[in-house]
Amino acid sequence: MHRRVYIVLFMAVFASTMGVGFIGPLLPLYARALGAAGLSLGMIFAGFSMARFLLTPFIGRLSDRFGRKVFLAVGLAVFSGFSLLYLSVETVSQLILVRALHGASAGMVIPVAQAYIGDIAPKGRESSFMGTFTVSLFTAFGIGPLLGGPLADRFGMSAPFIAMGSLSALAFLLVLLLLPEIGIHRERWKKRAPVREVLAHEVVVALIVFRSVSALGRGVVIPFLPFVAESRGASLSMIGLLLATHILLAGFLQIPFGRLADRVSKPLLMTLGMGGSALAILAIPYCQTVTHLFFLQVATGIVSALGFPAAIGMAAMAGRRFGGMGTLMALFSSGMSIGLILGPLGGGFFEGIFGLDFVFKGGSLVVALGLVAFVVLMRRASANGSLEQILGAAESSGAGGVPADVGATTARK
């Protein structure tokens, strides 16, 4: 039964996410053709995440009570329908509205699917199990741009949007017809902790900080990297390749880094990942050729993959600890939404004032500040024992995986 759940969710998430990837390299250029620039461009990307941010926590909590399948099915059906609305957009305001509707439907899909996988994750293997599932997200989002650019070059700008709607419809049918509801959520709902208690836990706050700043980095790169690449002479297909490179590499590395996260300090891996991401974003405006951008995206893929399996594995542990896997995955996903709201909005605002290069320099600074906040929270959680509540005494012995120099690992025993 669990194997069937895993396979169906992997295929459904892969299909729907690949559709979103189709429009990744095209949306900034599509928006600019409608007259979007600066802050309005940021609002187009932020609107998707804002709607998802507002809806996701409620959906996560409701899925803890009523089950996962109904929310997945409804979310995918609506997601497919809204994909086709892009074809009728004529103004920037309409595009912002469609993006918001699309984001609201997305809030019913990925966090609920992750909660379902967290329900069946084996104890002690949360990071490797969740990391392997996350391959469906990263690789699909990476393959999408590879195909979206050539689709637009060959068949016109509308083709990727039609393909996105079709793949989401396929994912809906997979969930509706093949996904069972196994009911693990019912027993955990009886032992659930209040949401305010969950939000007060320092490890949960640290996870949200990690997810927020990681997503903020992506929220800066995806909307604005195409303009840097275009200025270096890249075609639509090449822009798609650049966006796909780091995402695909990050996806394939989820498996080995997930296994690593089950053996060494999760906070350390997350720390290294955030630090590497800050440096990679800072380097973008200094790339003089498309080749430089390509190799930088390779490096970005490695550092992006380093911390994510550790983080989502820790989120699954916290979900089990608080009796609300849907709630924890929703909060974790809300952190992503925060970053994807602030990244495009901040980037759009500062591009209009200081120019394109400052977008990446400012984004790098914010990720670095988030890293400092994360380390402080984890060290505090280690000192008062709240990290041990999540990870267990074996992993949080000594300095809890976040030593004073943030440079030692703590092996699982």
Burial profile 287-320: b = 16 or more Cβ within 10 angstroms, e = fewer: beebeebbebbebbbbbbbbbbbbbbbbbbbbbb
What would the CATH number be for the domain defined by 2-391?
Answer: 1.20.1250.20
Q: pLDDT, tens digit, for every residue of 231-242?
A: 888 887 788 788
- Which one is predicted more confidently, 267 or 219? 267
Label residue 266 by pLDDT band (50, 70, 90).
Answer: very high
All residues at 6 or more sequence positions from 275 whose CB lies less than 8 Å from its CB, including other chains: 303, 368, 371
Model pLDDT, residue 413? 34
- Spatial CA neighbour of 247 closest among 149, 325, 146, 97: 146
Q: Is 408 exposed, middle or buried (0-12, 13-18, 19+ CB in 10 A)?
A: middle
All residues at 6 or more sequence positions from 304 whose CB lies less than 8 Å from its CB, including other chains: 214, 246, 247, 250, 273, 277
Task: Kindly list the domain boundaries of the chain, sorted by start residue.
Answer: 2-391
Its pTM stands at 0.79
Model pLDDT, residue 36? 77
Check: CB of residue 73 under 8 Å from CB of residue 59.
no
Query: CA–CA separation, 401 vs 117, rounded Å?
Result: 26
Model pLDDT, residue 401? 38
What's the mean pLDDT when you consider all of the chain? 84
Model pLDDT, residue 409? 34
Q: pLDDT, tens digit, for every residue of 54-84?
A: 888 888 888 888 888 999 999 999 999 988 8
Q: What angle do CA 200, 308, 106 make, to 5 degrees?
A: 80
Helices (H), 253-400: 254-261, 266-283, 290-322, 325-354, 356-384, 386-391
